[in-house]
Structure 1
């Protein structure tokens, strides 16, 4: 766990792109990490000493909420920063009236999401050669 608690702030979609690209899809073109409906989402960043170290994007459609493009700088992973950020998104989804929250998680991250009571749903699928699992949380 980090000794510093990150500051969670709303940010612009464009502020998420560098971390999305560097962490999730560094081998793809920069535009690959942009989501077609980024303008409709809420985007959050975790800051340590004014440095953006983790990002996540939340999309709410009536009672369904989805988060996408959750990325934490590798130098700051496994320090609790992503946990603080995800909890903020869970709280925000509840505040906005969502009844469930889901994501398409990289299979190697499913244990992280299970700590938030998210449950696997459906079969494993692939994006390129990376296995994914849909995870859902009842709110």
Structure 2
């Protein structure tokens, strides 16, 4: 059984640490703006197994620190969190969702419609690319046939 719900920021830290930066100090995974974000936890059989953090700025949302515990990776949990984020952002009327994706995860995000931009950078020993998806596009109105 899988359930996703909003969680308190500090609940994300252990998962981030174990999944993303296990060889760094624990405080390394804490973001300065964590308490300004919206955080989601994926519970597999009632155990917190994955997290993602969302940071809105007007109608543009950035997600950060998508992390699944190592023993639970490759089971579709990351995909469930991305699908949840996409639905959440559409409900919130976001126009764009973006992330700093590790280059080796580019194909994962591409499956959901994210497009790689030309913006790339190196941070903490990893290559990143900014990826984005356009949401809630306004449908053009036509006066033809009236």
For Structure 1 versus Structure 2, the TM-score category normalised by the shorter chain is over 0.9
RCO comparison, higher one (Cα < 8 Å, 6+): 1
Deviations 1:3-47 (A, max 9, x none): x4x111111100000010111111211111111111111100111
| Secondary structure in 2 matching 1:36 | coil
Query: How many residues are paired up?
Result: 135
Quote the RMSD (CA, aligned, Å).
1.0
Q: Which residue of 2 aligns with 1:117?
A: 113
Unaligned runs of 5+ in 2: 136-146
What is residue 136 of structure 1 aligned with on the other side? 132
Aligned residue in 1 for 2:10: 14
Q: Secondary structure at the match of 1:20?
A: helix
Which 5+ residue runs of structure 1 have no aligned equivalent?
Answer: none
- Matched residues in 2 for 1:125 and 1:132: separation? 5
1:123 is displaced (CA, Å) by 3.5
- Report the TM-score, using the length of structure 1 for normalisation: 0.93
TM-score, normalisation: structure 2? 0.88
For 2:22 and 2:78, locate their aligned partners in 1 and report how far apart those are by CA, in whole Å: 19
